[in-house]
Structure formats: structure tokens, C-alpha cells
Amino acid sequence: YDLADYEFRAGSFVQDARGRWYFSVSVEYQPNATPSRKAVGVDLGLKDAATCSDGAKLEAGRFYRGLEDALGKAQRANKPHRVQAIHAKIRNRRKDAIHKFTTHLAERYGVIFVGDVSSAKLVKTKMAKSVLDAGWHQLKTQLKYKAIARSGVFEEVNEAYSTQVCSCCGAKPDSSPKGRAGLGIRHWICSECGAEHDRDINAAKNILAAGGHPRLDGGILALQGE
């Protein structure tokens, strides 16, 4: 791991859910600054943990897909140690996927805007399991420190009505998904300008605009180094 190249700081012994012990140590390193000044908007959701204004997505279900059946069997068989082991695998998969996704964004974009959806509030609702599975807090935390470490900008912005407003014309048409009744609508067409939208990508583009990125008559500017 080339640890000899780093200067060690504080360390501690930790035990994971499977009873395994690790020595966790902080090291100092100097990441390369991100040369790009391009900006991206990120919408956090439940079907997809994160959707970017450039169309990239981090699927929430990928964290536990393939382990659901094994987890259910272990729970029904009342095998707590097996359940803990499977949950540990799910956490590791989630952490690994989020690390790769956030590193890619931090290296590609110099300015990152994320919607200010609060996981703390939603975990008190019926959506609690889905919210925890998505790992929003972990994702935002990683995006923030990785952006700052590369001399980039990270900012949470007000995402109110980002799903309902057309990112092309700026109108809030009658055809846009609204309220709980609109949660199942994944694609829609703006009744004002005729633009076709992926629900989450449209929201991410509006989050990008809310962060100060300009909106022209033709919609949000394409992310090509403008």
C-alpha cells in the first residue's frame, strides 16, 4: 500500500460488526487540484441514490442486490452472526460504490452543487429503510471533503420544486410530477415547451441552476467547459 510514502497521524483499533479487528490510522497526503472549472448538479433520491445533471447515476439497489435472499434466510433462521456478516457486506459495497462515484465527480468537476434534502427528517417516516440504504449522508460527506481537498467547491442548495420545474423553459407546468401522487412518474413532457425529461436528471439540472449556473433560453448550458 506504499504506506512508507505517508506521514502517520493518530490511530486506533476498531472492531467491525463481524468481530474482526483493524488498526485504523490517519495519514497526510496532498491530492492533485482539479483543473476543471466545470460545474455539476446532484439530485439525491431513493431509486437512484444520486443522479447528476450530466446523466450519470448511482443506483441505490446495487448495494444489496444479490444479498437480499441470503439476508432473508438468515433472519428467518434466527442466525444473528450470519445477519451481521451480510449487513457488513452490504455496508462495504455501499461504501465502495459511493467512494468510486464521489471520486469520479471530484476529479471531473471543480464545482459541485447538491440538493439540501435531509435524511435526518426522512428516517422518521415510512421511507426510513430506503433513505438509509441510499447513504445520502455518507455521499454528501465524501463529496464535500474530496472537492475541498482538490481545491474545488462544494455547496448544498435549496432544491425546492426542482422536480416540478422544467429545466429548459423554467416553467412549472401542469404536466410535471407533483406531491405523493407524482412519486411514480419517472419521465414527463413539459406542457409549456414540449421538452422531454427524466425526472431525476431534470431535478439535477435545476439544482445546478440554483447553484448559480446560468440558464439560457435553450435550457441549462451543456457541461462542456463553459
Sequential pLDDT tens for the chain (226 residues): 677 888 888 889 988 777 789 888 888 777 777 777 889 999 998 888 899 999 999 987 666 667 878 888 888 999 988 888 888 888 888 889 899 999 999 999 999 999 988 766 665 555 555 656 668 888 999 999 999 988 899 999 999 889 999 999 999 998 898 866 677 888 999 999 999 999 999 999 999 999 875 443 334 443 333 3
Does residue 47 contact residue 60 with C-beta atoms inside 8 Å? yes
Determine, yes or no, domain membership for 226: no
Per the structure, the count of domains in the chain is: 1
Distance CA 149, CA 18 (A): 32
**Residue 40: exposed, middle, or buried by beta-carbon count in 10 A (0-12, 13-18, 19+)?**
buried
Give me the domain span that covers residue 133: 3-220
List, in order, residues 6 or more apart from 163 with CB less than 8 Å away.
176, 177, 182, 199, 202, 203, 206
Query: How is residue 180 annotated by DSSP?
Result: G
Determine, yes or no, domain membership for 225: no
Single pTM value for the model: 0.77
